[in-house]
Amino acid sequence: MKEVLLCKYGEIILKGANRRYFEDLLLRQLKRKASVHGQFNIHKAQSTVYVEPLDQGADMDGMLADACKVFGIISIARAAVCEKNMESICQTIRAVAPAALRGVRTFKVEAKRSDKRFPLDSMEIAAEAGAAVLESVPGIRVDVHHPEVTVRVEVREYAAYVHAGCIKGAGGMPVGSNGRGLLLLSGGIDSPVAGYMMAKRGMTMEAIHFESAPYTSPMALEKVLRLARLVAEYNNDEMIVHVVSLTHIQEELVRNCEEDYFTLLLRRYMMSIADRCATMCHCEALVTGESLGQVASQTAEAIAVTDPLASRPVFRPAIGLDKEEIVEIARRIGTFDTSIEPYEDCCTVFTPRHPRTRPELSKVLAQEEKLDFSALVDEAVAGMYRVVVHPGQEILVP
């Protein structure tokens, strides 16, 4: 039997004159995802994208799993395709219902007829389709108020479709529809989630990672690149990671500055370097995984000390989330298990014993003046290099 994925738009529906632009981005994403799963015909009609396999070799399970990672789609139904007449619709129901409704005790049918030339109205379609379910699934009964499963029949332009429920789509806006962001990607739990959250709002993401070799190991970098590869699945199947060494800066901080200020001073360097990198890769915003009050450097006062180093907006999508909520997203998008692998981060080497939680800017600046800030930033930026990662491709640590 012929199957199709019916991918329904989310917020794109609300777009006026430039809706076409968003739809085209969405189609492009789905086509790229489909390219590794076989031959598909992908087209749009009536606020739905149709993903139709063109031959037996097409992998519908794989395509469905990947379609769930495409932003802009709110729900996906894997539907059986039938001709636009009641005989064919009921025949399809009799063929699919026994397996699809196995063990189900109650159901209802909802019919939708967007082709108004179809001779039956939606009530009549539902009644006939319901009878076909009752006929083919022993012991099942109708419950219009609280059914366990709703069987849907949609009579559309070219065909009719039958399915028994939708899967939740990724929601959000198609990647590429809302500018470019540079994600400060650590090896932790929060920053991959932050990258995912901004990609969900349509931002194309690149990443910058700070390392501190030899205090941080090649394995730590490899882990970060694996995280980037996981986030890439939500970001045009690509993540460009700019890698910067903070080693010299950290050594200078340790040699010259008061320990309590290390983290804040380092974060000011990170912000400044990230801002320079963002200019170079045409990103309009920086993105971090900060969550208010999570650690000393994430109090409002500490953020106020680091924020002015950026000459563009700094988006912190996790700022109001609890750790538990961030973890829940990390698990759902598949980054959690990698994030908790125990490798060192540049922020965890030379960590002060008593970091300042309510820093005074004047005191931070007094410490900062002991070093040549801009020369150290220039040096770090000059040594920056990039690694590009793609899902399914091996990671080569430079």
Contacts to ligand ATP by CB under 6 A: 184-186, 188-191, 208-210, 288-290, 295, 297, 345-347
- In whole angstroms, give the CA distance from residue 339 to residue 331: 10
Q: Which is nearer to ligand ATP, 20 or 323 (CB)?
A: 323
Measured in degrees and rounded to the nearest 5, phi and psi for residue 270 equal -60, -45
Lookup: tokens for 383: 């040594």
Nearest distance from C-beta of residue 1 to Mg ion, angstroms: 50
Dihedral angle sign, alpha carbons of residues 69, 73, 75, 80: negative
Q: Helix 218-232 to helix 190-200 angle, to the nearest 10 degrees? A: 20
Minimum distance between the CB of residue 195 and ligand ATP, rounded to whole angstroms?
9
Least Å distance, CB 185 to ligand ATP, is: 5
- φ/ψ region of 329 (left if φ > 0, alpha if ψ in -120 to 50, else beta) reads alpha
Q: What whole-number distance in Å separates Cα of residue 262 and Cα of residue 369?
A: 13
Contact map string, positions 136 to 175, toward Mg ion, x by CB under 5 A: ----------------------------------------
DSSP-assigned letter for residue 87 = H
Cβ 395 to Mg ion shortest distance, Å: 20
Q: Does 202 bind Mg ion (CB under 5 A)?
A: no
Q: Which of residues 280-339 bind Mg ion (CB under 5 A)?
A: none
Q: Which does 77 bind (CB under 5 to 8 A by kind): Mg ion, ligand ATP, none?
A: none
Minimum CB distance to Mg ion smaller for 7 or for 346? 346
Q: Closest separation between CB of residue 391 and ligand ATP, Å?
A: 21
Give the burial string for 9-41 (b: 16+ CB within 10 Å, else e).
bbbbeeeeeeeeebbebbbbbbeebbeebbebe
> 263 contacts which partner out of ligand ATP, Mg ion, none, CB within 5 to 8 A by kind?
none
Binding flag, residue 186, Mg ion (CB under 5 A): yes
Q: How many residues bind Mg ion (CB under 5 A)?
A: 2
CB of 206 to ligand ATP, least distance (A): 12
CA atoms lying within 13 Å on the CB side of residue 85: 2
The correct pick among 53, 188, 202, 391 for binding Mg ion (CB under 5 A) is 188
- Binding positions for Mg ion, rule: CB under 5 A: 186, 188
